[in-house]
Amino acid sequence: MNDSCDAITQSDPEGEIRRRRLTYQRVSSSCIAEVSYDLTDEILAVRFHNGREYRYAGIPPETHQALLAAASIGRYFNAKVRDAYPHHRTR
């Protein structure tokens, strides 16, 4: 099941803010509930089972694909994403 959420992404040099709808997909993980990826701005949104949500910037498409294909999404996320990219909590 997919769920959508409005995301504010900033990408133009004048600081104009645009709204973009992110579509989340459920994943099989004991810590991560859903992920979404914005290919244009290379933003990975991660929702955890505890309700927290974070956005990670500068995520290459290959990293997003590898996350979804990983035998353990949580382990891949912790090893390759969590502390490697700028992020902020949204919920």
Structure confidence by residue, pLDDT tens digits, 4-46: 344 444 444 444 445 567 899 999 999 999 999 999 999 999 9
SS3 state of residue 37: strand
pLDDT of residue 22: 84
What span, in angstroms and rounded, lies between the C-alpha atoms of 88 and 32? 16
Structure confidence by residue, pLDDT tens digits, 42-77: 999 999 999 999 999 999 999 999 999 999 999 999
Tell me the whole-structure pTM to 2 decimals.
0.78
pLDDT of residue 4: 38
What span, in angstroms and rounded, lies between the C-alpha atoms of 16 and 50? 32
Nearest residue to 37 (alpha-carbon basis) of 18, 55, 52 = 55
